[in-house]
Structure 1
Amino acid sequence: MGNYKMAHTMIRVLDLNRSLAFYKEALGFEEVRRRDEPTYEFTLVFLGDGDPNGHQLELTYNYGQVAPYDLGTAYGHLAVVVDDLEASWAAHDAKGYQPTEPKGLSGDGKPRYYFITDPDGYKIEIIRK
């Protein structure tokens, strides 16, 4: 059939600059490319984690959107991995991102993940690599 690979995940954001600042500061994501479409009244910004062949996060900004987006009940979360979970949690806490307490898997007891929330309410799971 084909050799499929993940390309990107798209989320809609209310304030593009606020979201760009969050993803850069909280996760170190950098802008890879941008596409402005004034005729169709939107801007797309693709963020990457430094891996040129890796999965990207697409932020879609629709001109004129004033109300926060309804995330619905089907959305779960984005997930990223990090080498040092404890240092990451401490940095997110110090920056005021209100991370959840790190949790482990059932019966394990060792903390393996926690969550933060972006400016639009999207949950982001931070997982020990």
Structure 2
Amino acid sequence: MRLLHTMLRVGNLEKSIEFYTKVMGMQLLRQKEYPQGEFTLAFLGYGNEEENTVLELTYNWGVQSYDLGEGYGHIAVEVDDVYKAADAVKENGGKIIREAGPMNAGTTIIAFAEDPDGYQIEFIGADHQRG
């Protein structure tokens, strides 16, 4: 088995694609409209779908926003330098909701960004301890 993608429902597909490509540095891998179902899918990632887990953005035509609920947490992205990644988000017009620094109950350096729909993205340094 292999984890293929994570799907997020978005209210403005163009704005979300712009955020994930220009602010987060992902590539738009593919996009397709489904007129019968009245939705569009866009797949983005840091590498091809054959070898990487990617992000699926779903735009249901005419739906502008969603209630994120209490169960959703965040997407985690490994970066070389958390401080530099957070600064790059701000420089590219993105929103940092937690500045880079040690996590509450440990020493791992993290930061949190927020996408246009309010989904949280955690940055974790490439040198973090696994497990």
What's the TM-score once normalised by structure 2's chain length?
Answer: 0.86
Corresponding residue pairs, total: 123
Identity of aligned residues (%): 42
Q: RMSD value over aligned CA atoms?
A: 1.5
- Spell out, residue by residue over 1:95-121, the C-alpha distance to the aligned partner (whole angstroms, 9 max, x if none): 34232221314353xx61100000000
Paired residue type of 1:57: L
Is 1:13 equivalent to 2:10 in the alignment?
yes
Is 1:54 equivalent to 2:57 in the alignment?
no
Moved over 2 A (4+): 93-98, 105-108
CA distance in 2, matches of 1:37, 1:18: 19
Which sections of structure 2, spanning at least 5 residues, go unmatched?
A: 127-131
Which sections of structure 1, spanning at least 5 residues, go unmatched?
A: none
CA distance in 2, matches of 1:8, 1:107: 29
- Once the two structures are overlaid, the 10-residue window that deviates more, 90-99 or 23-32, is 90-99
Contact 2:79 2:85 in 1 (8 A): yes
After superposition, the Cα gap between the structure-2 partners of 1:7 and 1:22, relative to the gap in structure 1 and judged at 3 Å, is same
Q: What secondary structure sits across from 2:32 in the alignment?
A: strand
Larger radius of gyration, structure 1 or 2?
Answer: 1
CA distance in 1, matches of 2:38, 2:18: 22
Equivalent residue runs for 1:45-124 within 5 Å = 45-52=42-49, 53-66=51-64, 68-99=65-96, 100-105=98-103, 106-108=105-107, 112-124=109-121
Is 1:42 equivalent to 2:59 in the alignment?
no
Q: State the Cα distance separating 1:48 from its structure 2 match.
A: 1.3
